[in-house]
């Protein structure tokens, strides 16, 4: 009994990350890949590899039948979905479990609940999490919307129940624009998700994005691993993440962490999860829950010393949580820079052949990446090609080490966001931790204007 062969239903750095955790546990891996990923590092390292389709994700990494068939053929007894792709697909999770394959993820019912943002908010509220003031669930009647909006005050934010991650939102500045803007948002939501259910929230003008990492055993025990600050984002793509947040006190961390862990215990949540909050004027407001492992999980690993993928696998195998809350110690500071194959000024994707690659190293420097010299980055998928995660005993020490490590990284053949990160590390607001979700995009505008005025800068 027990998990002995994991099929990794993903690609890129996260596939490699999962492979490494599995191998450390003595578990074999099965890589499934598209024709475009035959030369990927995780495919080479995996014990078994199955080509599941053409480059298009719809026909490969999202292809339920091909993935289940690959699991059956190779005798995999568990599937890890990584992030993105099928990771938050409740139907696929159901299918996996119906095949007696362990789903290394939350219970399908919880994926389903949290995928519906109205249901998620109701559930969070019932479990005692602080909510953004807004409509009590979905609203479809414009008179009712005007009533709710008048009560919470403008500006309000119309959000699609099937949205999330920034999709299907519209800021409504005043009552006269409510009906036309909500109608527009509904049309967009209908087109994007096939569902125009909307809800209203008070629009928070300048918050930080603070998310708590949680783990549950599915039987009523849960822990939190503190927060990550992911406020530096561009178009809902995180660029730079850190743990702990520079603005959260140890007291608030343990208080809010206790609330989220109690909530997860009460719902008998299983596996890894992230509870997202907006944080403004010292208050937390729940917005969404992600029922998956996140890209930025390594910063939590760095400050807790825990292997989050190992924890996920243990839980999927029916084991207890490996630690008790009182045994979790937060030490030092960690920052992750996402390195994308893209132009550091225009953000245009830059796929292609890696002519030369040199990875940063040294004390407390981690690079999660499947890159190697001679590898060709395919144009079909996400542009993130590496994550640089640096740890230091203090935030200042971490920033100094990060600057040094970024300077060591050499990626030739494609454009990357390394120069963007090097510029960011010169900004006083980044160095002092004085930023909100608006900071990066505002800074990028200033930078573009300065560049237009004087191309030498
Ligand atoms: C908000 C908000 C302001 N007020 N909700 C964007 C993604 C999704 N997770 C929720 N989002 C937001 N919800 C209220 N009531 C602002 C955002 C938002 C945002 C949130 C986190 C990180 C970056 C963001 C960028 C733009 C808008």
**Average pLDDT per 10 consecutive residues for the chain, totaling 457 residues:** 94 98 98 98 98 98 98 98 98 98 98 97 98 96 96 97 84 97 94 94 98 98 98 97 98 98 98 98 98 98 98 98 98 98 97 98 98 98 98 98 98 98 98 98 96 82
Closest CA relative to residue 359, chosen from 373, 349, 379, 347: 373
Residue indicated by tokens 């990066």: 440
Alpha-carbon distance of 22 to 227, in angstroms, equals 25
Nearest CA to ligand 1 atom 27: 166
Q: Say whether 122 sits in a helix, a strand or coil.
A: helix
pLDDT given for residue 457 in this prediction: 67
- Residue 152 CB–ligand 1 contact under 6 Å: no
Residue indicated by tokens 């292809």: 63
Is 164:111 a contact under the CB 8 Å cutoff? Answer: no
Q: Say whether 337 sits in a helix, a strand or coil.
A: strand
Nearest CA to ligand 1 atom 19: 437
pLDDT given for residue 196 in this prediction: 94
Nearest CA to ligand 1 atom 23: 437
Mutation choice for ligand 1 from 130, 287, 290, 436, CB with most ligand atoms inside 8 A: 287
Active site residue 403: no
Backbone dihedral angles phi then psi of residue 283, each to the nearest 5 degrees: -110, 145
- Residue 204 CB–ligand 1 contact under 6 Å: yes
pLDDT given for residue 1 in this prediction: 60
Is 132:202 a contact under the CB 8 Å cutoff? Answer: yes
> For residue 224, how many C-alpha atoms fall within 13 Å in the half-sphere facing its CB?
22
Candidate list 253, 292, 338, 401, residue with the active-site label: 292
Alpha-carbon distance of 57 to 212, in angstroms, equals 30
- Residue 314 CB–ligand 1 contact under 6 Å: no
Q: Say whether 45 sits in a helix, a strand or coil.
A: helix
Q: Say whether 49 sits in a helix, a strand or coil.
A: strand
Structure tokens that stand for 372 in this block: 């190697």
Kind plus residue range of the DSSP H or E element containing 164? strand 156-164
Alpha-carbon distance of 38 to 44, in angstroms, equals 8
| pTM attached to this predicted model | 0.97
- Residue 236 CB–ligand 1 contact under 6 Å: yes
Helices 90-98 + 108-115 axis angle, to 10: 170
Q: Say whether 107 sits in a helix, a strand or coil.
A: coil
Kind plus residue range of the DSSP H or E element containing 418? helix 418-424
């Amino acid at each position: 009994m027990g998990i002995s062969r994991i099929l990794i239903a993903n690609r890129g750095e996260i596939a490699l990350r999962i492979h490494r955790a599995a191998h450390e546990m003595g578990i074999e891996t099965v890589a499934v890949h598209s024709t475009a990923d035959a030369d990927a590092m995780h495919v080479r390292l995996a014990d078994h590899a199955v080509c599941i389709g053409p480059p298009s994700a719809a026909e490969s990494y999202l292809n339920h039948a091909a993935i289940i068939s690959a699991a059956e053929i190779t005798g995999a007894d568990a599937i890890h979905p990584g992030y993105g792709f099928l990771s938050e697909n409740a139907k696929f999770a159901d299918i996996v479990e119906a095949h007696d394959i362990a789903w290394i993820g939350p219970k399908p019912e919880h994926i389903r609940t949290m995928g519906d943002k109205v249901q998620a908010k109701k559930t969070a509220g019932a479990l005692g999490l602080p909510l953004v003031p807004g409509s009590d669930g979905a609203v479809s009647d414009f008179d009712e919307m005007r009533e709710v909006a008048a009560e919470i005050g403008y500006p309000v934010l119309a959000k699609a129940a099937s949205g999330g991650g920034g999709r299907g939102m519209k800021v409504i500045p005043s009552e006269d624009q409510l009906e036309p803007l909500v109608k527009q948002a509904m049309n967009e939501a209908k087109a994007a998700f096939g569902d125009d259910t909307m809800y209203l929230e008070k629009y928070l003008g300048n918050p930080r994005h603070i998310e708590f990492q949680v783990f549950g055993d599915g039987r009523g025990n849960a822990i939190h691993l503190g927060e990550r600050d992911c406020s530096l984002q561009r178009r809902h793509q995180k660029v730079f993440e850190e743990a702990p947040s520079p603005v959260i006190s140890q007291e608030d961390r343990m208080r809010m962490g206790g609330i989220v862990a109690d909530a997860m215990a009460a719902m008998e949540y299983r596996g890894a999860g992230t509870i997202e909050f907006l944080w403004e004027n010292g208050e937390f407001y729940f917005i969404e829950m992600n029922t998956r492992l996140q890209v930025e999980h390594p910063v939590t690993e760095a400050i807790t010393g825990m292997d989050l993928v190992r924890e996920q696998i243990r839980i999927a195998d029916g084991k207890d949580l490996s630690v008790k809350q009182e045994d979790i110690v937060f030490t030092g500071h960690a920052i992750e820079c996402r390195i994308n194959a893209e132009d550091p000024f225009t953000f245009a994707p830059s796929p292609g052949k890696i002519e030369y690659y040199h990875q940063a190293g040294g004390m407390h420097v981690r690079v999660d990446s499947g890159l190697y010299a001679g590898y060709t980055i395919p144009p079909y998928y996400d542009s993130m090609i590496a994550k640089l995660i640096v740890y230091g005993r203090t935030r200042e020490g971490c920033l100094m080490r990060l600057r040094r490590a970024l300077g060591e990284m050499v990626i030739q053949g494609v454009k990357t966001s390394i120069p963007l990160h090097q510029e960011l590390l010169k900004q006083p607001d980044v160095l002092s931790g004085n930023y909100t979700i608006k900071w990066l995009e505002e800074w990028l505008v200033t930078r573009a204007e300065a560049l237009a005025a004087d191309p030498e800068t």
